[in-house]
């Protein structure tokens, strides 16, 4: 199938995203409740060509940078946060590769990059990221999934947890160590239907069912050399330390979108209720939420622009950690404020607020977690060299 050509300008892409998102929004409650599958939402995204947002223009994508991407994600998540979060996993998986588009690479790596871009643009493939493992979370240096050379390729063994897009993505970018717990970590692209790949049960959580998140077992999965990410072993940890923005804050737009949706809901509710609209106390509370949302958005956008201008700098990295932390704390607090203002109706299953409250709480548990963000920021402020791989417990 031939890829849809995405619009040229960010404004037009945002408009397209809003249109697609409005269609997704209509099904979001049912997907959350488990009465509808999440697959059709992702099909909409594929059909609109959105998986190629980050792929360079020259390769048939929209060539969005991190800043633009964050705004698209925000727009989508304000309508359907779960699908937006799932979609983000695709972009986290290929984001750094897309950003490398202007950098010439050795032959093998060029080929790999070309293959990924083509899969996305022509094959409309969805990728997903498989890093976390049971018990140790997303710590690259505690991986128990291993790879070993075998003839002209590799064999992977291990178990991943919290893998999104289970049964939806075509490929999974799997982090594996040369030995258990080794610093030498590489990424490999595993196809959903590669022999030895098995999907576990889906995780049942408080929300975000639409991401179809669950376990992934790799049982002696053989891969050709061409599936080694960028054709070089042992680069994963180095890359993460240098440019953590995808891993740490790719999804920031999701929680900004949730916060915006909550704010919009509060405004609609208050405008529709004379008793609330005329209350100075309610107006002030709305004003306070407005101020908090504006500050979080300004920071998220500024962080996005810093990544574009100075990718890999400690300043840009600190900024994305600050953005993630700030919007991650804001979203659930804003959800509680929405409940406080809108009252009992906000907690009815028919209204989105209670779902947004549950969804917003995921911001507090996804890596980089709040404490990890603050540790990064504290160390950055105190002059610790954060480009040293030993400065943090990645």
Contacting residue, 286, 307, 368, 386, with a copy of itself by CB under 8 A: 286
Separation CA 275–CA 133 (nearest Å): 51
Q: Side-chain half-sphere of 332: how many Cα atoms within 13 Å?
A: 12
Distances (CA, A) of 55 to 188, 285, 332: 19, 42, 32
Nearest distance from residue 103's CB to a copy of itself, in Å?
A: 29
Q: Is the four-CA dihedral 12, 17, 19, 20 of positive or negative sign?
A: positive
Q: Is 281 in the site for a copy of itself (CB under 8 A)?
A: yes
Nearer to a copy of itself, 1 or 381 (CB): 381
Q: Side-chain half-sphere of 160: how many Cα atoms within 13 Å?
A: 30
- 8 Å CB contact between 308 and 99: no
Separation CA 68–CA 261 (nearest Å): 19
Extract the tokens encoding 31.
Answer: 């997907």
Short-list 79, 41, 7, 387, CA closest to 261: 79
- Helices 252-271 and 81-99, interaxial angle, to 10°? 150
Nearest distance from residue 293's CB to a copy of itself, in Å?
A: 9
Nearest distance from residue 205's CB to a copy of itself, in Å?
A: 5
Site for a copy of itself in 200-259 (CB under 8 A): 203-207
Length of the chain in residues, anyone?
394
- How many CB atoms within 10 Å of residue 326? 23
Nearer to a copy of itself, 134 or 234 (CB): 134
Short-list 234, 252, 261, 271, CA closest to 327: 252
Of 49-57, 73-81, 169-177, 284-292, the segment contacting a copy of itself by CB under 8 A is 284-292
> Residue count at the site for a copy of itself (CB under 8 A)?
73
Nearest distance from residue 290's CB to a copy of itself, in Å?
A: 4
Of 37-45, 180-188, 251-259, 364-372, the segment contacting a copy of itself by CB under 8 A is 364-372
Nearer to a copy of itself, 114 or 271 (CB): 271
Of 76-84, 166-174, 245-253, 377-385, the segment contacting a copy of itself by CB under 8 A is 377-385
Of 7-15, 115-123, 218-226, 336-344, the segment contacting a copy of itself by CB under 8 A is 336-344
Site for a copy of itself in 295-324 (CB under 8 A): 295-296, 298-299, 301-303, 318-319, 321-322
Q: Is 280 in the site for a copy of itself (CB under 8 A)?
A: yes
Separation CA 365–CA 126 (nearest Å): 24
Contacting residue, 11, 58, 291, 309, with a copy of itself by CB under 8 A: 291
Contacting residue, 24, 346, 368, 386, with a copy of itself by CB under 8 A: 346
């Amino acid at each position: 199938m031939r890829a849809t050509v995405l619009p040229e300008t960010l404004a037009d892409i945002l408009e397209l995203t809003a249109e697609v998102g409005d269609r997704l929004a209509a099904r979001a409650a049912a997907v959350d409740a488990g009465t509808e599958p999440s697959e059709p939402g992702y099909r909409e995204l594929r059909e609109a060509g959105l998986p190629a947002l980050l792929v360079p223009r020259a390769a048939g994508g929209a060539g969005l940078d991190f800043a633009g991407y964050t705004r698209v994600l925000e727009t989508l998540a304000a309508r359907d946060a779960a699908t937006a979060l799932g979609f983000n996993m695709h972009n986290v998986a290929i984001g750094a590769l897309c950003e490398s588009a202007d950098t010439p690479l050795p032959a093998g790596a060029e080929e790999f990059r070309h293959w990924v871009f083509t899969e996305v643009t022509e094959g409309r493939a969805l990728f997903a990221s498989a890093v976390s493992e049971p018990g140790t979370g997303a710590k690259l240096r505690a991986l128990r999934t291993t790879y070993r050379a075998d003839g002209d390729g590799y064999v992977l063994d291990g178990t991943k947890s919290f893998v999104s897009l289970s049964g939806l993505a075509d490929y999974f970018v799997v982090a594996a160590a040369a030995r258990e717990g080794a610093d030498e970590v590489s990424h490999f692209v595993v196809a959903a239907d590669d022999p030895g790949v098995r999907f576990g049960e889906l995780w049942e959580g408080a929300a975000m069912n639409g991401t179809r998140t669950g376990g992934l077992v790799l049982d002696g999965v053989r891969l050709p050399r061409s599936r080694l990410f960028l054709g070089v072993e042992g680069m994963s940890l180095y890359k993460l330390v240098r440019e953590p923005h995808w891993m740490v804050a790719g999804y920031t737009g999701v929680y900004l979108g949730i916060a915006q949706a909550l704010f919009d809901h509060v405004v609609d509710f208050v405008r529709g209720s004379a008793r609330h609209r005329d209350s100075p106390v309610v107006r002030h509370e709305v004003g306070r939420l407005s101020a908090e949302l504006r500050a979080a958005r300004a920071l998220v956008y500024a962080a996005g622009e810093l990544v574009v201008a100075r990718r890999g700098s400690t300043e840009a990295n600190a900024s994305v950690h600050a953005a993630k932390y700030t919007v991650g704390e804001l979203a659930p607090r804003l959800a509680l404020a929405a409940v406080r203002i809108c009252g009992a109706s906000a907690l009815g299953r028919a209204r989105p607020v209670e779902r947004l409250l549950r969804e917003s709480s995921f911001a507090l548990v996804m890596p980089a977690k709040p404490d990890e963000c603050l540790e990064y920021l504290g160390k950055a402020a105190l002059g610790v060299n954060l480009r040293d791989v030993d400065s943090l417990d990645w």
